[in-house]
A and B are shown apart, each in its own frame.
Chain A
Amino acid sequence: MRFLTIAILGMEKSMSAQDKVVINNLPTGVLGLDEIVGGGLPEFSFNIIAGAPGSGKTTLAHQFVFANATQERPALYFTVLGESAIKMLRYQQQYTFFDPAKLPNSIRFINLSQVVLEKDLGEVLAEIIKEVEKTNPAVVVVDSFRTMVRKPQDGSSDMGLQSFIQQLSLFLASWQATTFLIGEYAEDELRDNPIFTVADGLFWMSQIAERNSVVRKLQIIKLRGQASVPGLHTFRITDAGLQAFSRTFGLSGHKSKPPSDRRLSIGIPELDKMMGGGVPEGDSVLVTGASGTGKSVLATQFIAEGIRQGEPGIVAVFEERPQAYADRAGSFGLDLEAPQKDGTLLILYLRPLDLSVDETMNEILDAVKRIGAKRLVIDSLAGFEMALSPGFREDFRESLYRMIFALTGIGVTILSTVEVDESFTEFPFSTYSISFLTDDIIRLRYVSIEGELRKILVIIKMRGGSHSQDIREYEITSKGMVIATERLKNYQRLITGIPERMNRFGDEEELSPKP
């Protein structure tokens, strides 16, 4: 008996490993959505696209249909009550994905409104079955099935609708069709709705107006058979249709690069020394300081040094235009024109209107992938946040965290600048509470010494190891940032910005003569 049990267990184990059915994935036709659904939409799945009017449900279904329909395995698009099919075609053909050559042989639009108006759900089902058997489609869309539900059915009940959906699901699965039912639903209707239990996939689409901007979000509430990326994903509707922006920025399948011992030079020798040889590759560095302390100069030297060493770089600027940024770098003897021409440097000017933080970050990520960037400068985080619509600012830190995590995971070294208010009672690193996002923090600040406003620099933290504890004075010269080779001695309370000079006995000394 024990032997038999072991034998069955062994057989089950080997069967599960070898005979597991392979679910083919179909392209969604929506940029960014394949990654969100875990590689593509499972073939033969029965899906519901739900959302409020205007949320993009029909466009999503059209993109899927145009991406998958062929003459051999066409798509059947059943229109019911609601948008006129003629007008739907009028508007949908404005999208670039709409290929008129696919009509009518690969994509057939069939209007069922008469059947719905005059007959019952059973007749609707019969009509769909008749067309499916005649056409053998790979894709079936019913747009919108909710309008059928709203039509009063004689003697119908929730069970009648459930039965309709259940039978439709069973039939279409048997006919090896991947199906979309489109329905207008409010968010609270999604909970405990038995109709949704039948569906293999449930796509929830929404648009929320916040102040003057609109945020479009997509959530895969469920998807049987494979792991989708959880959470709300931003999407946009452009001339090309929907474009989705995964919360993982398309990097969820990428292997993390193993930690590197390599140090990257910032291009400021004394700073490299203070950091124990430079910035650890793959780190996120935060440079903080008040306006005019030289954060952008330091960032420019970091990117220019990378270019000099053959490491392509991206600079994302928000507060000045790329030409102005390059011109300013030129005034410090750093040539950013030539690397832009030869494709090793991209200066991205990102002043989006109503763009989500994910879209903006997606643009940065695309640029990183496009030129194989090893270094990224974000100048500055304050500008980045201000460039976003108010509705997106709430997500800023969370999205920034995801982007930094994703990019540093593939070995990109990021240097971000952030402006802090100069305080003479505190020593803040950032007003954004984002210090936790960074591996290394370099703090720049003004100090008042002997009637002069001078600048000091200190390495606050380096997650990757030891670093200099020195407080060094520095200057911004025509060659960029130049740091003193010795720490600033004979002063205490330097970080307050109002230091006190100590005499040779270590006692405080007045800095200025008494009046």
Chain B
Amino acid sequence: MAQHLLDQEAAADKASVSTESAAVRVHEKLCRSLCVLAGVAGYRSLASRALILASAKAPSLRAMQVTADGSLQVLSEAELAINERQAGEDRVILLAELLGLLQSFIGKALTLRLLREAWPNAVFDDCNSGDGEEHERTR
């Protein structure tokens, strides 16, 4: 699902080929959507937890932090992933952790509904819904 969101965002902005910039936009959209629902503090705590979980799998993410407004900030350029491909993969891991957290709290159905709101033109089908049990599709 995380990769799918990045692909959606990359496809939406063909001018930018950077996975990194697509990832930033995904985070920003998620942040906006979730802050409405949970408040900035609510989103920030979720994002911080996701970052900790993701850092265990992608150590380069330790160079990042979640700011007071919920956005991601680089603490140490030196510790960031050495190449763009690696950075993109790390971002996918971070997003996956965030979506996983959300799903564990409010369930798959509501998580998908939140994503649909943030990406109204995106397609979310059973391939992207985690365990593939549901067959939901929207455009």
Q: Mark A63-95, 1 if CB is under 8 A from B, else 0.
A: 000000000000000010000111101100100
**A428, chain B: closest CB distance, angstroms:** 60
Asked if A113 contacts B105 (CB within 8 A), the reply is no
B40 on the interface (CB 8 Å rule)? yes
B117 on the interface (CB 8 Å rule)? yes
B38 on the interface (CB 8 Å rule)? yes
Within 8 A of B (CB), among A132-151: none
Give the chain A neighbours of B114 by CB distance below 8 A. 104
Q: In the complex the two chains form, what is the Cα distance from A114 to B39 in whole Å?
A: 7
Indicate the member of B36, B41, B106, B110 with the most A CB atoms within 10 Å: B106
Q: Mark B4-40, 1 if CB is under 8 A from A, else 0.
A: 0000000000000000000000000000000111111
A54 on the interface (CB 8 Å rule)? no
CB-based nearest B residue for A81: B39
Q: In the complex the two chains form, what is the Cα distance from A110 to B38 in whole Å?
A: 7
Give the chain A neighbours of B35 by CB distance below 8 A. 111
Asked if B113 contacts A86 (CB within 8 A), the reply is no
A464 on the interface (CB 8 Å rule)? no
Say which size band chain A's interface belongs to. Answer: 10 to 19
CB-based nearest A residue for B106: A89
Q: Mark A88-130, 1 if CB is under 8 A from B, else 0.
A: 0110010000001001100011111110000000000000000
**B122, chain A: closest CB distance, angstroms:** 15
Asked if A111 contacts B105 (CB within 8 A), the reply is no
Interface class of chain A by DSSP: mixed
Give the chain B neighbours of A110 by CB distance below 8 A. 36-37
Q: In the complex the two chains form, what is the Cα distance from A181 to B107 in whole Å?
A: 27
With A86-B46, A103-B113, A104-B113 already in contact, the answer to whether A114 and B106 are too (CB < 8 A) is: no
Asked if B106 contacts A86 (CB within 8 A), the reply is yes
Asked if B106 contacts A84 (CB within 8 A), the reply is no
With A85-B42, A86-B46 already in contact, the answer to whether A111 and B37 are too (CB < 8 A) is: yes
Q: Which 5 A-B pairs have the closest CB atoms?
A: A111-B39, A113-B39, A100-B109, A89-B106, A85-B38
Can you add 15 more A-B contacts, CB < 8 Å, to A85-B37, A104-B117, A110-B37? A86-B37, A86-B42, A87-B105, A89-B37, A89-B110, A93-B107, A100-B110, A100-B113, A103-B113, A104-B113, A108-B36, A109-B37, A111-B37, A113-B39, A114-B40
CB within 8 Å of B: which residues of A?
Answer: 79, 84-87, 89-90, 93, 100, 103-104, 108-114
Q: Can you list 30 A-B pairs with a CB-CB distance of less than 8 A? A: A84-B38, A84-B42, A85-B37, A85-B39, A86-B38, A86-B42, A86-B46, A86-B102, A86-B106, A89-B37, A89-B106, A89-B110, A90-B106, A90-B107, A93-B106, A93-B107, A93-B110, A100-B107, A100-B109, A104-B113, A104-B114, A104-B117, A109-B36, A111-B36, A111-B38, A111-B39, A112-B39, A113-B39, A114-B40, A114-B41
